[in-house]
Structure 1
Amino acid sequence: MEIVALVLLVIAVIFVARSIKVVPQQHAWVVERLGKYHGTLTPGLNFLVPFVDRLAYQHTLKEIPLDVPSQVCITKDNTQLTVDGILYFQVTDPMRASYGSSNYIVAITQLAQTTLRSVIGRMELDRTFEERAIINTSVVEALDEAALNWGVKVLRYEIKDLTPPPAILHSMQAQITAEREKRALIAASEGRRQEQINIATGEREASIARSEGEKQAEINKALGEAAAITAVADATADAIRKIAAAIEQPGGQEAVQLKVAEKAVDAYAQLAQKNNTMIVPGNMSEVAGLIGTAMALMKGASPKP
């Protein structure tokens, strides 16, 4: 009896183990009943009919990164290019992923490689480095359309590396060096040009400033001279007015005549002192008249006792 009970216990344990299944989160298990697709187990506790149902496939619903092996592609200008990329996909339909392809991972990898060769074959070498985004988008569109029958959603494709042959790399490096040297020469010439422009501008502004200063100085000098002339003219006019007013006073005429006579006598005296030659007036009566006039004025001007 003990042996029978032990056998029944073992059968019960096997029965329970085969009938109860716990599916983890983000996983999907495909169940076949008698060799035919029966259903998909969702995350949580699930029950199967022992010896009738069986787990045929187990899929993860997480995003899966797939490293696409590097391959040599030929560009439009017949240049070999080694391309290495990575693909991201996700199982969206476990039933199709189980029965749509014998190995959807291999199918996606091969399709990614062939699509990549086709896209790069339509581009020249320089464009392949500039338009990685276009290459990635083209590969994703082609894969996503074909992967619908495999129950897989291709999310994105990224090129990790583009490696041309060593000779092409050397030529590209030489081209880059020449381009940098060209830019350096252009920058230096632009600097010298700007320097000359700045110097010319500075000299022009300095010349303008100097001319403006000289102009202002001449204006100030002219204004000063004009003011001085005006002041002298005003003073002379005032003196003339005062002399004229004094002449109109009593005795003014006699004073003028006396002053003229004194000046004439002084002039003759100065000529006699500065020259060895005796200068005699042509008309002595004029001198005598001047002297007489001066003496008469002096006598008339002296006070009477």
Structure 2
Amino acid sequence: MGTFAGIFIVVIVFFIIISGIFTVKQQTAALVERFGKFLSIRNSGLHFKVPLVDRIAGKINLKIQQLDVNIETKTKDDVFVILKVSVQYQVTRARIYDAFYKLESPSAQITSYVFDVVRAEVPKMKLDDVFVRKDDVANAVKSELNDAMLDYGYDIIRTLVTDIDPDDKVKASMNRINASEREKIAAEFEGETERIKIVAVARAEAESKRLQGQGIADQRREIARGLEESVEVLNKVGINSQEASALIVVTQHYDTLQSIGSQTNSNLILMPNSPEAGSNMLNDMIASFTAASQIGDEMKKQNDRKAIQEKPD
């Protein structure tokens, strides 16, 4: 009986000693109390506490943690939006005691401050400004949280506005506006493309007309040169310039009639086509040139006399 009691006592003592041994994981801190009073902070590793006297009051996570907060608020132009703000925070090693004993629920405290800041900042902005200046909202939240949570042993690493979700009707209206704007831009591009095509066609036609005119001018120049050479040849055999011109016109007249007659499907009619037509045309042209030259000389004489009379003494 005594031996059994001794074994029992040894076993009890062994379990009591074993109960005093504990481990703390990496990036974690354990707070030990003795008779309900804070005793020490134990970091990662193997530790010992006095059995039945000391107890682990709790463990605190030293990793960077993230809290997502959804806030519904109204913008300056009376549009309700839901903002999702992500807060990344961490317990500072130097203030583990404050983080554990001063604050009952850090997530609830952070959420309250986020609500307060967002509902103070967003109503100052229009909906479009909220999208553009979301970083300003995030920085305002971070600044306010840093000042408030530092006393509780929490360091705010980063705050991000990760989502902005307007009312469904507002989103539908925004989509219609964007679609209309894109259609407007597409129409402008199509109009510009059509204008470029028209300009290109006009330039091509202008270039074609220029080349056509140049070709006609070159053709007439060569014709005139040939006529000049023909007149010179005829002058050498005793035919004067007027007779030579008449002979050339009549020759070309009959060459044209012969060309028309050789084409069965031609619709061209040359008028007049009598034998004396070429000579009559030439005489009419010479008479017109002579009359125009006389009128020009007379006008020049009148202008000279008028200029002499108006000249001051």
TM-score w.r.t. the length of structure 1 is: 0.64
Which ranges of 4 or more aligned residues in structure 1 deviate by more than 4 Å? Answer: 208-219, 222-229
**Which among 114, 117, 120 is matched to residue 119 of structure 2?**
117
- Counterparts of residues 1-305 of structure 1 (less than 5 Å): 1=2, 2-18=4-20, 20-68=21-69, 70-93=70-93, 94-211=96-213, 221=222
SS state at 1:22 partner: strand
Distance across 2 between alignment mates of 1:56 and 1:209: 101
Larger radius of gyration: 1
Distance across 2 between alignment mates of 1:227 and 1:135: 92
TM-score w.r.t. the length of structure 2 is: 0.63
SS state at 2:125 partner: coil
Residue 73 of structure 1 deviates from its aligned partner by: 0.3
Residue 155 of structure 1 deviates from its aligned partner by: 2.3
* Structure 1 gaps, min length 5: 237-305
Distance across 1 between alignment mates of 2:79 and 2:11: 71
Identity of aligned residues (%): 27
Distance across 1 between alignment mates of 2:147 and 2:227: 100
1:248-303, Cα deviation, whole Å (9 max, x unpaired) = xxxxxxxxxxxxxxxxxxxxxxxxxxxxxxxxxxxxxxxxxxxxxxxxxxxxxxxx
RMSD: 3.2
Give 2:33's aligned amino acid: E
Distance across 2 between alignment mates of 1:217 and 1:6: 134
1:131-167, Cα deviation, whole Å (9 max, x unpaired) = 2222222222222222212222222233343232333
2:266 corresponds to: none
SS state at 1:199 partner: helix
Residue 7 of structure 1 deviates from its aligned partner by: 2.5
Alpha-carbon spacing, 1:155–1:204, altered in 2? closer, same or farther (3 Å): farther
SS state at 2:52 partner: coil
Count how many residue pairs are aligned between Structure 1 and Structure 2: 232
Residue 107 of structure 1 deviates from its aligned partner by: 0.7
